[in-house]
Amino acid sequence: MSLILSIETSTNVCSVALTKDGSTLATQKLYLEKSHSTLLTVVIQSLLDHTEVHKEDLSAIAVSKGPGSYTGLRIGVSTAKGLCYALDKPLVAVNTLKAMAQELSQYNSKGMLLCPMLDARRMEVYTALFDADLNEIEPTKALILDESSFLETLAENNVLFFGNGSDKLKSLVGENANAHFVENITPSASAVGVLAARALGEGRAVDVAYFEPFYLKDFRATKPKKLL
């Protein structure tokens, strides 16, 4: 039996979940700005209390590894690592975009390609492309969108676009009959847990000491504007 606590903090949505043998037992999601640093551990404890699960009974800790918010990923991974060290449990890291595709795949009855998108500011997104079975067609990348984006793919395939970056593409290719857009899909710890259960069963844990989030791009601090 596998019992996995999953953590997702790659965007401004903070969520945790418990997964037993690949099925979600319970999950909590907070749609609050900057809630990760102050509420993540509180939500974890609340979830464990309500399910009457002791930390020591967990098989592993799973975390959404990115891409996504630099600060959010850092907080999620740091929390996951801390739990792994304290409980002597393995750490499983799951690609954020693949977890988003996993969440939507249950509704993909027509077998369309799945293209999650996370906002990376201006016209840039973090994205990847998966088939209906979650096989990777195009790897995770940072992409600046324009009128030619995905036109070759859309010429021969129906594609589901989703995530908080997909509105940018909708304004460019929304009239294409093969482009379909799904709203209100956010990264979810329950989807992370489902993929983590498979990874754990295949022995694909990561090294707790050396694992780092998949930031995709280097963090760049900006100076505040001078007051006039």
Q: What is the CATH number of the domain that holds 72?
A: 3.30.420.40
Q: Are 70 and 17 within one domain?
A: yes
Residue 220 has pLDDT above 70, yes or no: no
The answer to the question of residue 151 being in a domain is yes
The answer to the question of residue 168 being in a domain is yes
Residue 153 has pLDDT above 80, yes or no: yes
Dihedral angle, C-alpha 200, 206, 207, 209, nearest 10 °: -110
Instruction: Determine the pLDDT at residue 223.
Output: 52
Q: Are 191 and 89 within one domain?
A: yes
Q: Are 60 and 102 within one domain?
A: no
Q: Are 78 and 19 within one domain?
A: yes
Residue 225 has pLDDT above 90, yes or no: no
Q: Are 23 and 77 within one domain?
A: yes
What mean pLDDT, rounded, does the chain reach? Answer: 93
Domain that holds residue 151: 97-182
Q: Are 110 and 155 within one domain?
A: yes
Token couple for 218: 């280097």
Token couple for 48: 């464990």
Nearest partner of 66 among 116, 17, 21, judged by Cα: 116
> Could you give the percent of the chain with pLDDT greater than 70?
95
Neighbour tally for 19: CB within 10 Å = 28
What count of Cα atoms within 13 Å lies in the side-chain half-sphere of residue 79? 28
3-state DSSP assignment of residue 95:
strand
Instruction: Determine the pLDDT at residue 222.
Output: 47
The answer to the question of residue 57 being in a domain is yes
pLDDT class for 35, splitting at 50, 70, 90? Answer: confident
